[in-house]
């Protein structure tokens, strides 16, 4: 056992000395591996960060939550020109479903697509996402009140001029002032702040709850309606715990078709989408992005591997005389093999570590610039990068190392001379 440890130690020292004596060549060799590892791990880190932020943004939302809309969240078999003629999802549709659909824990009506300027005294914020919704939205969504309260069912039904602010909106408008009871202007109308949501952060889906405000939908319906070119309506349904989701969807579809007056040979003029289906759709996109990232970055890593193999063949050629002398003095084939194999592995590992360090720096910079969106270099990706570097070193160095170990000492010395 001690003999093998000494063999490993001496082989490692020979490899380090060889790399030190050829600094430029060593740098150029590990550069290819650095670029390859950096490309792969950077892509994986970016995709993992996107996936993690999306999943965190959906935390607290029941994945069985159903959206009933006249538009599709993803690819659809229904032609676009047919979809564009679908009737809008009106408040009356929500009232019908509320009366006729059972096994429901909560049902809300929401209007999308409103971006307005929010003002408080001399402070103003432009392009704020305004979410008009019925009171039940609080039971369905993942936000929580951090200060004050949410509006009641009575306030929702009567369209009371009240508003619940996202965390960032409240911070930008009021700073250290308690916003509860203060009046802001939206749509050119006064609204009383009754609550502020806890900080949630960017979900990665393009809508940050911290940068939204929520108001009773019936307040907005006094002067705005859903339309093909304006606001879009949707009904959100949270099924009861333990409910048969498939049966609920079927009943929902049948009753809503009858409500809409759809004939047997006509397609649905609405879409029923579950959060779980949306999550699966996102997972599919993430998987495709990972595959494409591996394919593109793999070429960089392949080039790096070829670079190391090429340098190792050159190194064997340059040190043929030294190999012959070592073998003539009693060095075994294993010693020569490990000597060159260690050199290749060290090159690849150093290049991989530099690549990982660059990705780590990139994640820190990107996280600082992206605000609430968190870029993360996971431990599993670091282990993957290190393992890939070692694997590339082994594969790239095994043939040159084997050819060096098989050299005849007499021929090697003669060739060197």
Least confident of 38-47, 51-60, 147-156, 286-295: 51-60
Quickly state the pLDDT bin for 15 (edges 50, 70, 90).
low
State the pLDDT at residue 207: 65
Split into its structural domains, the chain has a count of 2
Residue 45 falls within a domain, yes or no? yes
In what helix (H) or strand (E) does residue 23 lie, and over which residues does it extend? helix 23-57
Residue 354 falls within a domain, yes or no? yes
Residue 137 falls within a domain, yes or no? yes
Residue 72 falls within a domain, yes or no? no
Residue 412 falls within a domain, yes or no? yes
Do 105 and 226 reside in the same domain of the chain?
yes
Is the pLDDT assigned to residue 296 strictly greater than 90? no
Do 353 and 299 reside in the same domain of the chain?
yes
Is the pLDDT assigned to residue 180 strictly greater than 70? yes
Quickly state the pLDDT bin for 193 (edges 50, 70, 90).
very high
Cβ distance 28 to 308 under 8 Å? no
- Residues 112 and 88: their CA atoms lie apart, in Å, by 12
**Residue 359, number of CB atoms within 10 A of its CB:** 25
Least confident of 102-116, 148-162, 330-344, 377-391: 330-344
Do 19 and 119 reside in the same domain of the chain?
no
Do 319 and 412 reside in the same domain of the chain?
yes
Cβ distance 64 to 238 under 8 Å? yes
Last residue of a domain, one of 240, 263, 291: 240
Do 211 and 294 reside in the same domain of the chain?
no
- Residues 59 and 363: their CA atoms lie apart, in Å, by 23
State the pLDDT at residue 399: 79
- Residues 155 and 137: their CA atoms lie apart, in Å, by 13
Coil, strand or helix at 238: strand
Do 308 and 391 reside in the same domain of the chain?
yes
Residue 28 belongs to domain spanning: 2-57+281-416
Question: Looking at 155-270, which runs of residues are DSSP E strands?
Answer: 162-165, 183-186, 189-197, 212-216, 232-239
State the pLDDT at residue 334: 74
State the pLDDT at residue 95: 93
State the pLDDT at residue 57: 62
State the pLDDT at residue 50: 74
State the pLDDT at residue 375: 74
Is the pLDDT assigned to residue 416 strictly greater than 60? no
Do 231 and 310 reside in the same domain of the chain?
no
Residue 386 falls within a domain, yes or no? yes
Do 231 and 289 reside in the same domain of the chain?
no
Residue 74 falls within a domain, yes or no? no
Please state, for a pLDDT cut of 70, what percent of the chain lies above it. Answer: 83
State the pLDDT at residue 182: 92
Model pTM score: 0.64
Q: How high is the mean pLDDT of the chain?
A: 80
Please state, for a pLDDT cut of 90, what percent of the chain lies above it. Answer: 20
In what helix (H) or strand (E) does residue 51 lie, and over which residues does it extend? helix 23-57
Q: Which residue has the higher pLDDT, 62 or 176?
A: 176
Is the pLDDT assigned to residue 40 strictly greater than 70? yes
Residue 65 falls within a domain, yes or no? no
Last residue of a domain, one of 240, 264, 289: 240
- Residues 94 and 32: their CA atoms lie apart, in Å, by 59
State the pLDDT at residue 227: 78
Last residue of a domain, one of 240, 261, 291: 240
Do 197 and 134 reside in the same domain of the chain?
yes
Is the pLDDT assigned to residue 150 strictly greater than 90? yes
Do 231 and 319 reside in the same domain of the chain?
no
- Residues 206 and 55: their CA atoms lie apart, in Å, by 13
State the pLDDT at residue 1: 56
Is the pLDDT assigned to residue 155 strictly greater than 60? yes
**Residue 294, number of CB atoms within 10 A of its CB:** 14
Is the pLDDT assigned to residue 236 strictly greater than 80? yes
């Amino acid at each position: 056992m001690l003999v093998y440890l000494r063999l490993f130690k001496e082989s490692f020292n020979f490899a380090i000395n060889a790399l030190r004596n050829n600094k430029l060549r060593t740098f150029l060799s590990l550069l290819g591996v650095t670029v390859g590892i950096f490309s792969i791990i950077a892509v994986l880190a970016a995709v993992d960060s996107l996936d993690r932020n999306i999943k965190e943004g959906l935390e607290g939302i029941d994945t069985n939550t159903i959206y009933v809309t006249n538009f599709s969240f993803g690819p659809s078999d229904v032609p676009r020109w047919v979809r564009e003629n679908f009737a809008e999802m009106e408040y009356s549709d929500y009232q019908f479903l509320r009366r006729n659909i059972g096994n429901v824990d909560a049902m809300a009506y929401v209007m999308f697509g409103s971006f307005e300027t929010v003002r408080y005294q001399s402070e103003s914020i432009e392009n704020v996402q305004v979410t008009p919704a019925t009171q039940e939205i609080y039971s369905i969504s993942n936000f929580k009140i951090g200060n004050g309260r949410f509006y009641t069912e009575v306030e929702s039904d009567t369209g009371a001029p009240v508003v619940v602010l996202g965390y960032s909106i409240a911070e930008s408008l009021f700073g250290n002032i308690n916003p509860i009871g203060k009046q802001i202007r939206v749509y050119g109308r006064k609204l009383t702040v009754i609550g502020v949501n806890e900080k949630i952060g960017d979900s990665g889906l393009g809508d940050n709850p911290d940068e939204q405000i929520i108001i009773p939908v019936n307040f907005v319906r006094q002067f705005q309606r859903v339309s093909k070119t304006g606001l879009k309506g949707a009904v959100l349904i949270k099924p009861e715990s333990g409910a048969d989701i498939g049966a609920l969807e079927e009943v929902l579809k049948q009753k809503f078709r009858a409500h809409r007056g759809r004939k047997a040979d006509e397609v649905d003029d609405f879409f029923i989408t579950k959060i779980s289906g949306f999550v699966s759709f996102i997972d599919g996109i993430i998987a495709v992005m990972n595959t494409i990232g591996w394919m593109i970055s793999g070429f960089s890593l392949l080039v790096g591997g070829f670079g190391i193999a090429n340098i190792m063949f050159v190194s064997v050629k340059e040190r043929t005389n030294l190999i012959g002398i070592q073998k003539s003095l009693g060095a075994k084939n294993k010693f020569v093999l490990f000597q060159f194999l260690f050199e290749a592995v060290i090159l690849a590992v150093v290049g991989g570590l530099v690549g990982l360090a660059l990705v780590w720096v990139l994640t820190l910079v990107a996280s600082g610039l992206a605000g609430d969106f968190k870029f993360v270099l996971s431990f599993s990706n670091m282990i993957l990068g290190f393992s890939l570097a070692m694997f590339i070193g082994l594969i790239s160095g095994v043939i040159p190392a084997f050819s060096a170990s098989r050299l005849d000492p007499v021929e090697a010395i003669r060739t060197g001379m």
